[in-house]
Amino acid sequence: INFTVEDHDGNRQSIEAPDDMGLSLMEVLKASEYPVLATCGGMALCATCHVEILEGKSELGVATDTELDQLEALPEYFPTSRLACQIRISDILEGSVVKLRGEDN
């Protein structure tokens, strides 16, 4: 599948990712060398993988309760905020635009 990533500087890049390997969006972003700390390793505990879904299927903007607890603890989050580690790569992501919101390191 293909989707677009917008980095902290507003640069957009198209990313291709396999949807049959059970990868999370966080894992794909890290593999693509984006600055995602993912301190908790994908346990929905650190919120450093915060992203905003700028364009995409509406389901993508719906965070689970576990995610919401983390997102609400952030200084800034948006109705379309998600934790990238809680999004599985699947065709639901096709054509979406994901903006990095985690800390820039």
The site for ligand FES (CB under 6 A) is made up of: 26, 38-40, 42-49, 70, 83, 85
Closest separation in Å from C-beta 102 to ligand FES: 8
Closer to ligand FES by CB, 23 or 40: give it. Answer: 40
DSSP letter for each residue of the chain:
-EEEEE-TTS-EEEEE--SSS--BHHHHHHHTT-----TTSSSSSS-TTEEEEEES-GGGG---HHHHHHHHTSSS--TTEEEGGG-B-SGGGTT-EEEE-S---
Closer to ligand FES by CB, 15 or 83: give it. Answer: 83
Closer to ligand FES by CB, 70 or 96: give it. Answer: 70
Closest separation in Å from C-beta 18 to ligand FES: 20
Closest separation in Å from C-beta 36 to ligand FES: 7
